[in-house]
Structure 1
Amino acid sequence: MGNFELAQVNISRMKAPLDDESFRGFVEALEPVNAIADRAPGFVWRLQTEDGDATSIRAFEWDVRGTSGILVNMSVWTSVEALAAFAFSGEHLAILRRRREWFHHVREAMTVLWWVPAGHRPTTAEAEEKIKHLRVHGPTPEAFTLKQHFSPAADAREGEPGWLCPA
C-alpha cells in the first residue's frame, strides 16, 4: 500500500492462566506459529518483549471481565490480503479452529484493523482506542474488520454493502 501498512490487534479472554495444563497445546504452538508468521509474505512486525515473549504483554486490563486475563496479539502487515492469507491457512488456522478450548467466546469485537503510516509501530494504547472505537461505531475507515475493511484512503461510503453498485 506504499505509504501505509495494516495494523491489527486481536485480544482473547483466557479461560485459565497460560501455565495451566489446559493451555499446553496453545503454548506449544506459539513459537512455531509465530515463526511461520515472521516468514509470511507481507509480514512486517509483531508486538513482543525484548526477549521475544508476547504473552507477558499487559494491556486491555479493562476488558478482563472476570476471566483469567487477556492475551494480546498485535502485528503489522503490508495489506489486508497478506494478513488474511496467513490467518486463514496452515498452522495458524489449525490453532484458530481450536480457540474455544482456551478462550471465552464473546460477542463484542476482539479484533480490529487500521492503517498506519509505513514504519509506524502501534502501541497497545493505540490498539485499545481502536477496539473501543470499533465496538461503539462498527467498522469505519478508522477501525475495521477483515470482513468489512477499507483502503488507506477510504471514501466514507467504502465498506458499506453495495457502495460500488447501488443497483
Structure 2
Amino acid sequence: MPQLALYTFGVLKSPLADPGPLTREFYASGEAVYRRLSGHPGYLAHAEPAAAQQGVLFTADWGAWGEFDVPDWYDKGRTAQTTALATTLSLWTDLRSAFDAVYTGLHREALNRRHDWFERTGHPSHVFWWVPDGAIPTWRDGVSAMEHLHAHGPAPHAFTFHRPFTPDGTPAGLKELKEA
C-alpha cells in the first residue's frame, strides 16, 4: 500500500539562532508538537539528522532522507547563525491521519500562531505525494514537489489538503477526506 509523504516549508521572521522570546516559543512549541505527532495514528516517520543540533540543517547527515534541500526561492541564510526556516519531511499512512494530526491538538494551536513566527511568502507551505510502501522520500523530492505545486498547481505528484489525490492519481475532494 502506498504511503503519503508530506513536506512542509516556511520562512521564519527571525533566524533560528535568535535568542528572542518568539524563537524560544517556536522551538518549545515545535518540540512538543513533534512528540505528540510521533504518537498520532497514521504517523510513520520523519526526517531527523543523525546528530540533532538547532539550526544546523544544511550540513547535517540526514541518512536515507538524502541531502538537505530547500526551494529555490528561499533567500535567507544557510549557516547555524543565519538560517531562518522551518521545514519537515514525514511519512503517513493516509491523508485522513495527516489531516487529523495537523488540524487538531497542539499542532492546531501552533498553526494559530504561525503569523507570529513565519513570513507570508506567497508560496505553498506544504505539499503531499504518494510513495511506494517502504520508500523513503528525500528532501529533494519534497522541494521538487513543492516547486511543481507552486508553478503548476495540484497534481497527483504534488498536492495539498484542499486539492488531494488518491494513490492511483484520482482527484479527491476535501469533503471525502473529512468523511473518510
Quickly name the TM-score band, shorter chain normalised. Answer: 0.7 to 0.9
Structure 2 gaps of 5+ residues are 59-68, 78-82, 175-180
Give the whole-Å Cα distance in 1 for the aligned partners of 2:124 and 2:54: 21
Question: Structure 1 length as normaliser, TM-score?
Answer: 0.85
Give the whole-Å Cα distance in 2 for the aligned partners of 1:36 and 1:13: 23
CA deviation after TM superposition for structure 1 residue 56, in Å: 3.0
Give the whole-Å Cα distance in 2 for the aligned partners of 1:117 and 1:6: 9
CA deviation after TM superposition for structure 1 residue 94, in Å: 0.5
Residue 146 of structure 2 is aligned to residue 131 of structure 1: yes
Q: Any idea what the Cα deviations from partners look like across 1:108-127, whole Å, max 9, x if unmatched? A: 21211000011111111111
Match of 1:112 in 2: 127
- The answer on whether the counterparts of 2:43 and 2:91 sit within 8 Å (CA) in structure 1 is yes
Give the whole-Å Cα distance in 2 for the aligned partners of 1:74 and 1:125: 10
1:16–1:104 CA distance, 2 compared to 1 (3 A): same
Give the whole-Å Cα distance in 2 for the aligned partners of 1:84 and 1:7: 13
Give the whole-Å Cα distance in 1 for the aligned partners of 2:143 and 2:133: 20
1:69–1:122 CA distance, 2 compared to 1 (3 A): same
Match of 2:73 in 1: 63
Match of 1:148 in 2: 163
Structure 1 gaps of 5+ residues are 162-167
1:110–1:54 CA distance, 2 compared to 1 (3 A): farther
Match of 1:18 in 2: 16
Give the whole-Å Cα distance in 2 for the aligned partners of 1:127 and 1:133: 10
- The answer on whether the counterparts of 2:149 and 2:155 sit within 8 Å (CA) in structure 1 is yes
CA deviation after TM superposition for structure 1 residue 132, in Å: 1.2
Give the whole-Å Cα distance in 1 for the aligned partners of 2:133 and 2:163: 22
Match of 2:62 in 1: none
CA deviation after TM superposition for structure 1 residue 54, in Å: 7.8
1:160–1:99 CA distance, 2 compared to 1 (3 A): closer
Q: Any idea what the Cα deviations from partners look like across 1:9-64, whole Å, max 9, x if unmatched? A: 11000111123213111111222211111100000010111235585333216322
- The answer on whether the counterparts of 1:5 and 1:117 sit within 8 Å (CA) in structure 2 is yes
Paired letter, 1:107: G
1:116–1:134 CA distance, 2 compared to 1 (3 A): same
RMSD across aligned positions (CA) = 2.1
Structure-to-structure mapping, 1:20-39, within 5 angstroms: 20=18, 21=20, 22-39=22-39
Percent identical residues: 26
Structure-to-structure mapping, 1:30-49, within 5 angstroms: 30-49=30-49
1:119–1:125 CA distance, 2 compared to 1 (3 A): same
Give the whole-Å Cα distance in 2 for the aligned partners of 1:114 and 1:61: 16
